[in-house]
């Protein structure tokens, strides 16, 4: 059966990348739980949103002999590297209000290490990273082509979230979950590609920030305690990425404060901002990509990533299941077209209509008739044909299926040498405003060329088997050929 370029592309991309996407999705679902597990550690202090940087710096200076560095991570855990009053080096999470030591740095669990290595490189180092990056790129294309198929199926972009007609379990949830997960899966895929490009140095990883300061302009007479620095007092702790403390009392040695959007060089004596540089776009995109790809810093986004990763696994399975079912509906002819009294032509986008046509074809064959079946776009002159049965669905907003989009023109241009009796069966859903519109258009076109159906057209809602049987009975009454079809024949 002819399939559209978008469906073919969607399927081909899925086949090419399925193994890598399955591995990446399975490990991605596992790794999405890592930020949730990390957040379960009791290192976040209530009320941290109200704390100023000055309060935490003051608590650290009162509690330790020397402070080297302060960091606030995506979980809003405060991590400090200090020297105790006993001269011991200490590194770990602290209470930002009291500077109390809470515990050592969170070590990545072995299970998550294994999943991370498999997710990033398949344990194949650079080679594996390349394939995972390629799979991410293919996932971008799969997601986009899948969304285009949904738009085409629904008839327009504005109808994407309108009601989906239930044909079977895999078809229904493939579409429903696809449109719900489109944005999140696209984000996963795009950020995966971006991080892979960073890994292979195709894109710059960091922005260079350089400060130029005229130290001779610093007035030592304005010296203040760090807790009184205006910049520290006016900066919320949760706005901070890191604060590097000066190592000495040299005038050239200063505080380096890195916020979400800029980096400040601050005099250790006066608290004046000596230099301020905006953080470049590269660093911002990198941090955002990591957070979006891993779910770090957000319970809700982590859960969305888990669900999206599971959905990807479902899409792979359901997509192949639908393809196998569609392939079972292929047309197989026992006789050549030029020798047949009966010709069946089919217009079908997903293969569902072909099953009804196949059942009708087999019923005629069982009656000893010579029958030929083909797609509507293959319509031609049939030398011995006396009866032509047209089975077609309608796609999108009253459009022809992809293997029937030339049929109406062919009806007008192809001339039959003998009189043929036509019968039209349309399949559709009354949930759509253009119910069986293409089948109706066929009937109108037949009438315009003075080729009227020999029995009343049937327009079948949601592939109703009872309505189809009534049409088969009508055929039998007008031809004298008993059509014996059971419901399992069209499943």
pLDDT exceeds cutoff 90 at 307: yes
Paired with 243 in beta bridges are 70, 257
Going by pLDDT thresholds of 50, 70 and 90, the confidence category of residue 326 is low
User: Could you report the per-residue pLDDT of 243-261, keeping only the tens digit for each?
Assistant: 999 998 888 889 999 998 8
Same domain, 214 and 292: no
- Can you give the pLDDT at residue 302? 92
Per-residue pLDDT tens for 67-96? Answer: 999 999 988 899 999 999 999 999 999 999
Same domain, 113 and 186: yes
Contact (Cβ atoms closer than 8 angstroms) between residue 347 and residue 403: yes
Q: Are residues 271 and 302 in the same domain?
A: no
Q: What percent of the chain has pLDDT above 70?
A: 96
The structure tokens 């002159």 sit at 381
Q: How confident is the model at residue 16 (pLDDT cuts 50, 70, 90)?
A: confident
Residue 220 has pLDDT above 50, yes or no: yes
Q: Are residues 358 and 449 both part of a single domain?
A: yes
- What pLDDT is attached to residue 219? 64
Is residue 224 domain-shared with residue 98, that is, in the same domain? yes
Tokens standing for residue 428: 């559709």
Residues 481 and 397 in one domain: yes
Total number of domains constituting the chain? 3
Phi, psi of 255 (to 5 degrees): -75, 140
Kindly state whether residues 313 and 425 are assigned to the same domain: no
Write down which residue in 264, 295, 324 finishes a domain: 324
**In angstroms, what is the C-alpha Rg of the chain?**
34
Average predicted confidence (pLDDT) for the chain:
89
pLDDT digits (tens, 9 = 90+) for 344-395: 999 988 788 998 999 999 999 999 999 999 999 999 999 899 999 999 999 8
**Mean per-residue pLDDT for 306-312?**
95
Which CATH number belongs to the domain containing residue 397 in this structure? 3.40.50.360
pTM: 0.76
pLDDT over 90 percentage in the chain = 57
Write down the pLDDT at residue 414.
92
1 pLDDT exceeds 80? no
Domain extent, residue 67, equals 42-105+208-279
**Structure-token pair, residue 275:** 């230099």
- Indicate the residue among 263, 295, 324 that finishes a domain: 324
Same domain, yes or no, for 454 and 423? yes
Task: Please say whether the beta carbons of 462 and 490 come within 8 A.
Answer: no
User: Do residues 312 and 405 share a domain?
Assistant: no
Residue 164 has a pLDDT of 79
Both 152 and 21 in a single domain?
yes
Read off the pLDDT band of 209 (50, 70, 90): confident
Q: Pick the range with the lowest mean pLDDT from 93-107, 202-216, 301-315.
A: 202-216
| Over residues 141-163, mean pLDDT | 84
pLDDT score, position 232: 95
Are residues 233 and 93 both part of a single domain? yes
Are residues 347 and 375 part of one domain? Answer: yes
3-state secondary structure the chain: CCCCHHHHHHHHHHHHHHHHHHHHHHHHHHHCCHHHHHHCCCCCCCCHHHCEHHHHHHHHHHHCCEEEEEEECCCCCEEEEEECCCCCEEEEEECCCCCCEEECCCCCCHHHHHHHHHHHHCCCHHHHHHHHHHHHHHHHHHHHHHHHHHHHHHCCHHHCCCCCCCCCHHHHHHHHHHHHHHHHHHHHHHHHHHHHHHHCCCCCCCCCCCCCCCHHHCCHHHCCCHHHCHHHHCCEHHHEEEEECCCCCCCCCCEEEEECCEEEEECCCCCCEEEEEECCHHHHHHHHHHHHHHCCCCHHHHHHHHHHHHHHHHHHHHHHHHHHHHHCCCCCCCCCHHHCCEEEEEECCCCHHHHHHHHHHHHHHHCCCCEEEEEHHHCCCCCCCCEEEEEEECECCCECCHHHCCHHHHHHHCCCCCCCEEEEEEEECCCCCCCCHHHHHHHHHHHHCCCCECCCCEEEECCCHHHHHHHHHHHHHHHCCCCCCCHHHHC
């Amino acid at each position: 059966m002819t399939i559209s370029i978008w469906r073919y592309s969607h399927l081909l991309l899925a086949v090419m990348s399925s193994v890598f996407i399955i591995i990446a999705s399975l490990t991605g679902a596992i790794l999405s739980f890592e930020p949730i597990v990390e957040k379960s550690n009791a290192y976040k202090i209530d009320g941290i949103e109200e704390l100023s940087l000055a309060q935490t710096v003051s608590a650290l200076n009162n509690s330790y002999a020397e402070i080297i560095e302060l960091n606030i991570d995506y979980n809003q855990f405060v991590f400090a590297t200090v020297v105790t009053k006993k001269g011991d080096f200490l590194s770990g999470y602290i209470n930002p209000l009291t500077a109390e030591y809470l515990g050592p740095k969170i070590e990545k669990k072995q299970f998550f290490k294994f999943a991370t290595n498999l997710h990033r490189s398949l344990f194949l180092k650079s080679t594996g990273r390349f394939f995972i990056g390629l799979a991410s790129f293919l996932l971008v294309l799969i997601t986009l082509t899948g969304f285009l198929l949904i738009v085409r199926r629904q008839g327009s972009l504005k109808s994407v979230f309108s009601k989906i007609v239930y044909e079977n379990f895999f078809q229904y949830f493939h579409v429903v979950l696809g449109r719900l997960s489109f944005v999140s899966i696209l984000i996963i895929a795009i950020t995966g590609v971006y991080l892979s490009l960073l890994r292979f140095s195709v894109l710059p990883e960091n922005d260079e920030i350089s400060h130029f300061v005229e130290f001779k302009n610093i007035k030592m007479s304005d010296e203040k305690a760090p807790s009184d620095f205006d910049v520290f007092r006016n900066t919320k702790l949760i706005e901070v990425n890191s604060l590097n403390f000066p190592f000495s009392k040299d005038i050239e040695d200063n505080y380096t404060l890195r916020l979400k959007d800029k980096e400040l060089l601050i005099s250790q004596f006066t608290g004046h901002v000596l230099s301020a540089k905006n953080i470049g776009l590269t660093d911002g995109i990198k941090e955002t990509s990591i957070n979006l790809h891993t779910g770090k810093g957000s319970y809700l986004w982590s859960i969305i990533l888990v669900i999206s990763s599971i959905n990807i696994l479902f899409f792979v399975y359901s997509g192949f299941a639908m393809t196998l079912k569609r392939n079972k509906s292929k047309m197989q002819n026992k006789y050549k077209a030029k020798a047949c009294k009966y010709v069946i032509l089919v217009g079908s986008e997903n293969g569902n209509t072909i099953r009804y046509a196949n059942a009708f074809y087999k019923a005629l064959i069982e009656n000893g008739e010579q029958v030929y079946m083909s797609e509507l776009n293959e319509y031609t002159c049939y030398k011995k044909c006396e009866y032509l049965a047209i089975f077609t669905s309608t796609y999108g907003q009253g459009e022809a299926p992809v293997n029937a989009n030339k049929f109406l023109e062919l009806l007008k241009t192809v001339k039959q040498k003998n009189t043929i009796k036509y019968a039209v069966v349309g399949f559709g859903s009354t949930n759509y405003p253009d119910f069986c519109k293409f089948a109706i258009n066929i009937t109108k076109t037949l009438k315009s060329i003075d080729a009227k159906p020999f029995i009343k057209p049937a327009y079948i809602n949601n592939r109703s088997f009872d309505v189809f049987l009534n049409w088969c009975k009508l055929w039998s009454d007008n031809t004298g050929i008993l059509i014996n079809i059971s419901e399992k024949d069209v499943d």
